[in-house]
Amino acid sequence: MAGTARYAPPKPKQHWMRRPFFKFGLPFMLTVIGGSFWLRDFAQLRYTFRTKRTVTKEEMEKMIGMPMSGKKMDPHEELKV
């Protein structure tokens, strides 16, 4: 009886990690499914900000409380001493 080894069942973690599904398939499936949820939320931003409208010149004057001049600013004239 000295040469016979007793059978010991594998530990649960070791048994699962030897299976290819748990090593490769499950992480792949989680990445695909999780990525689709992340992509859906990320794409929703595009439609959320599409409905934002721009502020017109009259609305900007009303918000800041002063009229905006219609002439273009020339940096050369502004820096003349």
pTM of full prediction above 0.75: no
Q: Encode pLDDT of 15-43 as tens digits.
A: 666 788 888 899 999 999 999 888 888 88
Range of the domain at 43: 20-64
Give me the number of domains the chain comprises.
Answer: 1
Residue 28, pLDDT score = 93
The answer to the question of residue 34 being in a domain is yes
Distance CA 35, CA 6 (A): 46
Is 37 contained in some domain? yes
Task: Note the pLDDT of residue 30.
Answer: 93
Residue 12 lies in a domain: no
Residue 38 placed within a domain: yes
Q: Where are the alpha helices (DSSP H) in the chain?
A: 12-18, 20, 26-50, 57-64, 75-78
Structure tokens given for 32: 């695909």
pLDDT exceeds cutoff 70 at 10:
no
Q: Is residue 55 part of a domain?
A: yes
Average pLDDT over residues 38-54: 82
Write the burial class of residue 73 (CB in 10 Å: 0-12 exposed, 13-18 middle, 19+ buried).
Answer: exposed
Domain membership flag for residue 71 = no
Let me know if residue 32 belongs to a domain.
Answer: yes
Q: How far apart are CA 50 and CA 42, in angstroms?
A: 14
